[in-house]
Amino acid sequence: MQPLPLANGEQRSFFDQWLTTFAGYVRDVDYQSARPLFHADVLAFGTHRDVIASLDQWVDSQWDNVWPRTSDFEFDLGQTEVLLSADGAMATVVAPWNSTGYHKDQTPFDRPGRATMIFNRDGDGWTCTHSHMSLNRGVPQESFADRPKKAAS
């Protein structure tokens, strides 16, 4: 059996930076800046919807229900794996993440989860075409912070 097709250092560095950039937009509740990282017809799964078939639907049903209600979002780059197709046209990123959730009384709780993201090469760059982000088992599904949005759309 062949080993997993892990990305090399340069490729891995790109995706680590992508994850860091995206996590910053989540922390800033900056939908507008995050949008160009994703294909307009991205297919996604998330806490609030089973299948989401466009970026607009994902923003409305998932991002808007999570980003303003949580804080401190970041990917665990040390536990992240990046797989690259043999032709270099598709990548899969498997990444645990953490954030802070808030109970109704605003007491914080750890809100860990995991993500699988699929990227397609688009010219010289990469676009995320699929994302599945979910909470770890036992983590409360709802969070009740009310942080302001930096840029909504």
What does the pLDDT look like over 104-125, one tens digit per residue?
999 999 999 999 999 999 887 8
**For range 30-56, the mean pLDDT:** 89
Q: What is the mean pLDDT of the chain?
A: 93
DSSP conformation letters of 96-132:
EEEEEEE-TT--EEE--EEEEEEEEEETTEEEEEEEE
pLDDT at 133 over 80: yes
Average pLDDT over residues 47-65: 85
**C-beta separation of 25 from 153 below 8 A:** no
Catalogue all structural domains in the chain, each as residue range(s) with its CATH number: 9-135 (3.10.450.50)
pLDDT at 123: 81
Residue 23 pLDDT exceeds 80: yes
Three-class secondary structure of residue 74 per DSSP? strand
**87-96: which pairs have CB atoms within 8 A and are 24 or more residues apart?**
88/121, 89/120, 89/121, 90/118, 90/119, 90/120, 90/121, 91/7, 91/11, 91/15, 91/118, 91/119, 91/126, 92/116, 92/117, 92/118, 92/119, 93/15, 93/19, 93/117, 93/118, 93/119, 95/19
Share of the chain above pLDDT 70, in %: 95
Model confidence, pTM: 0.94
The first and second tokens of residue 39, run together, are 């294909």
Q: How much is the average pLDDT of 85-100?
A: 96
pLDDT at 45: 83
> Is the predicted pLDDT of residue 50 greater than 80, yes or no?
no
Beta bridge partners of 135: 113
Q: Report whether pLDDT(48) > 60.
A: no
Token output for 121 = 């090469």
Calculate mean pLDDT across residues 38-45: 93
